[in-house]
Structure 1
Amino acid sequence: MTGATIFHLLPQAPRPVAPFSHAVEAAGWVVLTGQMPTHPDAPDAPLPEGIAAQTGRVMRNLEIVLKGVGLGLEDVVQCRCYLARFDRDYAEFNSVYETFFEKGRLPARTTVGVSGLAVGALVEIDCLARRPE
């Protein structure tokens, strides 16, 4: 795929909380929109409690989007992570986050503290993946 840009809106992925595509693909690169800790089967249900549960849900949502475009977490090269309570949640967030990746194959990452996130979430993660050549 060289020329076309593909805008992916996946029915199996969590309902978008704003006007965006779940992923956009160009020249083998796939940019995933930040995922929230909402459940794809119950988008209006209360969010999971605590940073560990919310991080797990966000990572599973990223896996759903990646699978929907034929990729997996092993194809992720970079993540941006946003924490609403950085000082309190950073260590526990890290302990859950790293379990989703093969040891020694962690993507590049930036993590920032923010003043707030959509739907009152504690965490949001977006990522960049690359199709294998």
Structure 2
Amino acid sequence: MAPSRALSRVIAARSSRFLEVPAPCRLQNHATRSPPYIRFEFDRIPRYALLQWQGIRPYTAQAPTAPEAPEYLTKGELEVFNKLKGELAPQKLEVQDISGGCGSMYAINITSDKFKGLTVIKQHRLVNEVLKDYVKNWHGVQLRTHSA
């Protein structure tokens, strides 16, 4: 059953989590219809319920996508980015050469599901294990890890 025009306008006009549904637009099945009788007696319907009712998947149901490498990365930054992306499947990844261009020090900010339940030290050890071939040639690394 398609929603009424008035309800569709309310859905389009509001962007908040809950939508105010005017009294004449409430969904009701009358006693003349066969069971089960469905009645919405409330004025506030969650946005995701209305979207599902219309056959639209809510934004929370979309699968997270892997980050793409920005075009401005240097060769060294791109190597580190691809290595981390391949091993840890991050939701967010930023790699920056902070040594002035010589490639001896990097700042890495990474968010991944693989960090869930791990302490910060264990998260850093995991990243260092993935990058061990690169790290031995670096002067230093600034590492920020977050669990998704």
Give the TM-score normalised by the residue count of structure 2: 0.31
Structure with the bigger percentage of helix: 2
Is the radius of gyration larger for structure 1 or structure 2? 2
Select the structure with the greater relative contact order (CA < 8 A; seq sep ≥ 6). 1
Structure with the bigger percentage of strand: 1
